[in-house]
Structure 1
Amino acid sequence: MRNAQNMFQIQSTMPQTIMSRELLQMPAVLLRDYLSNAIIDNPFLELRYSATEETLCRASNPLNNLETFHADPSETSDAPLSLVEELCGEQCDSLCAHLRFQVSLLDLDKDTRTRLNYLVELVNEDGYFREDILEIAKELNISTHEVLRLLQIIQGFYPVGVGARTLQECLMLQIDSGNQFAHIIRRIIEEDLPDVAQHHFSTLKRKHHLSDSQLQQVIQEIQNLNPKPGLTFCAETVAHYIYPEASIYVVDSTLKLRMKSDPRTFLVFDRNYMQDIDDAEAQSYLKAKKTEAINLLNSLNMRQAILRQLLLYLIHEQRDFFFGGKSHLRPLSMKEAATALGVHPSTITRCVRDKYIETPWGVLPLRQFFQTSSGNEELSVEYAYQLILQLIDSESKSAPLSDEDISASLKKRGISISRRTVSKYRERLGIPSQRRRKMF
């Protein structure tokens, strides 16, 4: 009985969770289009034309007054915190839509289709499934074997290689079993990919007993495989028109945050719509629509709460930038932001995606405030230049800092660069060595 109740809870919360992910990653322009369609399709939602005031709050204020809409207990479908916070990583909408379309073509029972669509949502823009199988099994209250079975279905979709968990698995899924060298290609992918990448062809030739022409064919086949199949369907989703989510500005030496696109200011939930309707079939339809409306409004609350928390965090962490400009923008990772806000890193990824804010220095993409996974080298170097200048400007003229001293000071501020790199940056700035800066 307990398992049945848990399964019901998962099934009822999944639509809320999926909607929350979708709304979180939508930029303001696309969100407005989405809500316009939702209003047309749902009688419980109305447009409030008079409520156009934007929300204004001080940067130091905590989140508050976020209304949560609830229906009857049987209708409530708020997602558990673990599902809500672990909003899955950034992904390509067109790939996701393509995979969901393929799910719709399969003859599946309702539960399997729901779970399969849930897994599709977790496929990232490269086409990989990077989630923990055990955690997904717990969330869906099914066995790991069942999760793997569902994942195997996705791995049979187009583009070939989608749904893989590793590079090796991705490439293996793409091997043509009819190829005369298929067994050798599989073995090389499993055991010798580093040798392929480093062009250790003589090693491969000896190990697999291949002639020059055979090796050439095998290598060509491997190089023709797509390591990121999801990008085949990845279209740019940045809106043609940019509408900032918020404005961060200075008033009397104080930073303030104004939310510019809060949809809750013009979206109204009509709780009493179905009170006078007696038809049983209509009641069933309207009950479903009422639940959809509640899910949508709760998802909007969640979107605004996370976005506002993130912007307040940026105001605190990037204060020097808002007052001083780009040279004061310090390196900051999305993982740091996620830790500070107590959410999953992928939540921050979705929150940042395609969002813009208005600042004293122009309208900027939120992504600019963070390093990418590979590191925003230009930002890090510029910030290091700024700190080196500050350290040298404030040093003792009779005992100037050595490059080693500067390197140690930078590490304390989160910039880990070697003494040699400090020396290179110092020379680029036209600053003489420690010995030449010393004044007697």
Structure 2
Amino acid sequence: MKTSVRAQLAQGVNLTPQLLQSIRLLQLTAPQLELELRQALDRNPMLETEDDDEVGETDAVDGTAEAELEAAAWDELPDPAYLSGGGVMGADDDACARIAAGESSDWRVRLLQELAYDWTADALRIAQWWLDRCDELGMLEGEPVALAREGAAALGSTAEALEAVRQRLLQGTWAGVAAASAAECLLAQLAAHPASPERALAERMVAEQIHALAAHDTATLARVLQADVDAVAAATALVLSLRPSAVEPPAAEHEGHVIPDVTVRFLGGQWRVALNGRATPRIRIAAHCEQALAHAPGDQSVLRGLLDEARWLVRGVAMRNDTLLRTVQVLVERQRGFLERGEEAIAPLTLREVADAIGMHESTVSRITSGKYIQTPRGTFELKRLFAVRLEGAEVSGAAVRAMVKRLIDAEPPHAPLADDVIAGLLARRGVRIARRTVAKYRDQLSIPSARQRCKPALAA
């Protein structure tokens, strides 16, 4: 065996404690950041609060100027291709994405974090593509065959490879994710149960008689499936034990109140974005401590270490605030129609589009928007709500179409409710072409019964 030594030049970046701290600050919500800063003020005498100015909202202009003066800009970090450090991940991957991002409120982020332990980078990339085309319940916003063809063209893969990854998602730890229908979601969950006569009958009920199952028509199920009534009842109980949605809830429940991280108001003919300065204290380096340390005799290594720690914290907070403001500014500009006209005007928008607009990686946008809330004239809600999946074959989002369906049903005559196919026809006249089953899916998501169940007899004259 012949041994040899070969020199290889590679470009990378070390994830220093300071960089790790900056990344962690990105994902902190307003209450978490306030707790972090309060603890830092207690343990580090080099920090002090800014009591000179009245604490309030911080405009995007002021926040950006302060970040440029006090911090190294986030964009000065190497490109994502260099962050991979020459590993097996692709050029579009970010090594920062491999750092634990905590418990995100976005179910897609939580699922991808679980899959990252044993899935390859290519499989994760395809899985993320599928998840971006699911609604909040984990159901696909389109036909699997058409979506697989679209994904194959977008990712440079094959439709068969995309469908194979979708099947892995369906049968994975979150059984039923990326299902094309409620029946497929339930069947995937049933497949995870041990084989038994109850499971076999439940699978037949879901696959062949889901409407009778939804109506709890035990007699019809027993007659059509030629099964005993008691067996049908046991299989029905098994189906009812399944989750109505494949999406796993977060481990920690949110508190009853929400503190917005940013606010947006319509002033002077334009939408203005500002940080909620009342949510977190504003910190700075104590000038007298820094001056005294510069002229202090003897070994001051401990105090200089505290000063460096304080500087990195101030810079990290400035970077976090600047990134948050720039991200929200893009979200507000792209979703101006939603802010002005409501849910029906929400535009399709993805993490990649926002990341490209601010010149950052998708993982950074995901961190800075997860768990963050925005206060608007239309209410206070999570930033993730401003992202929406484009409906296949249309220039509108699935969320906008769902709002259209709700408005049509709210305006229907009580004695003559609109059937699903009629709603699909009305939407087609407006240029939104969706199938009847898609209307039924949106109606189920809105907890709206069928037209027959909504029908109320007209009052006699």
1:310 positional shift: 1.3
Partner of 2:338: 321
SS of the residue 1:340 aligns to: helix
SS of the residue 1:66 aligns to: helix
Does the alignment pair 1:126 with 2:129?
Answer: no
- Are the structure 2 counterparts of residues 127 and 261 from structure 1 closer, same or farther at C-alpha, using a change threshold of 3 Å? farther
1:131 positional shift: 9.3
Partner of 1:37: 39
- Are the structure 2 counterparts of residues 386 and 319 from structure 1 closer, same or farther at C-alpha, using a change threshold of 3 Å? farther
Measured in 2, the distance between the counterparts of 1:17 and 1:426 equals 43
2:114 partner amino acid: D
Measured in 1, the distance between the counterparts of 2:279 and 2:371 equals 17
Measured in 2, the distance between the counterparts of 1:16 and 1:239 equals 31
Partner of 1:47: 49
Partner of 1:113: none
SS of the residue 1:258 aligns to: strand
SS of the residue 1:286 aligns to: helix
Deviations 1:32-71 (A, max 9, x none): 110011112222211122332422358xx99545234479
Q: How does 1:8-407 map to 2 (within 5 A)?
A: 10=14, 13-51=15-53, 52-57=55-60, 63-69=64-70, 80=78, 82=80, 87-88=96-97, 93=102, 125-126=113-114, 128-129=116-117, 235-236=251-252, 238=254, 241-261=257-277, 266-270=282-286, 271-280=290-299, 283-371=300-388, 379-382=399-402, 385=405, 406=428
- Are the structure 2 counterparts of residues 32 and 4 from structure 1 closer, same or farther at C-alpha, using a change threshold of 3 Å? farther
Measured in 2, the distance between the counterparts of 1:49 and 1:128 equals 45
Mapped contact 2:351–2:366 kept (Cα < 8 A): yes
SS of the residue 1:18 aligns to: helix
Q: How many residues align?
A: 289
Deviations 1:183-217 (A, max 9, x none): xxxxxxxxxx99x769999xxxxxxxxxxxxxxxx
Measured in 2, the distance between the counterparts of 1:345 and 1:54 equals 27
Measured in 1, the distance between the counterparts of 2:16 and 2:120 equals 17
Mapped contact 2:47–2:310 kept (Cα < 8 A): yes
TM-score by length of 1: 0.50
Measured in 1, the distance between the counterparts of 2:390 and 2:21 equals 26
Query: Which has the higher relative contact order, 1 or 2, with Cα contacts under 8 A spaced 6 or more apart?
Result: 1
1:360 positional shift: 0.5
What is the aligned-residue identity percentage? 20
Q: How does 1:419-430 map to 2 (within 5 A)?
A: none
Alpha-carbon RMSD across the aligned residues, in angstroms, is 5.3
1:278 positional shift: 2.5
1:46 partner amino acid: E
Mapped contact 2:347–2:400 kept (Cα < 8 A): yes
1:316 positional shift: 1.0
Mapped contact 2:388–2:398 kept (Cα < 8 A): no
1:235 positional shift: 3.3
Mapped contact 1:404–1:419 kept (Cα < 8 A): no
Measured in 1, the distance between the counterparts of 2:297 and 2:32 equals 37
- Are the structure 2 counterparts of residues 348 and 31 from structure 1 closer, same or farther at C-alpha, using a change threshold of 3 Å? same
- Are the structure 2 counterparts of residues 272 and 133 from structure 1 closer, same or farther at C-alpha, using a change threshold of 3 Å? farther
- Are the structure 2 counterparts of residues 405 and 254 from structure 1 closer, same or farther at C-alpha, using a change threshold of 3 Å? closer
- Are the structure 2 counterparts of residues 69 and 133 from structure 1 closer, same or farther at C-alpha, using a change threshold of 3 Å? farther
1:381 partner amino acid: V
Measured in 1, the distance between the counterparts of 2:69 and 2:30 equals 21
Deviations 1:234-255 (A, max 9, x none): 6327455422112111225422
Which segments of 5 or more consecutive residues in structure 2 lack a partner in the other structure? 1-6, 85-93, 105-109, 123-167, 174-187, 197-247, 410-423, 452-461
Measured in 1, the distance between the counterparts of 2:66 and 2:376 equals 25
Mapped contact 1:403–1:423 kept (Cα < 8 A): no
TM-score by length of 2: 0.48
Measured in 2, the distance between the counterparts of 1:94 and 1:382 equals 28
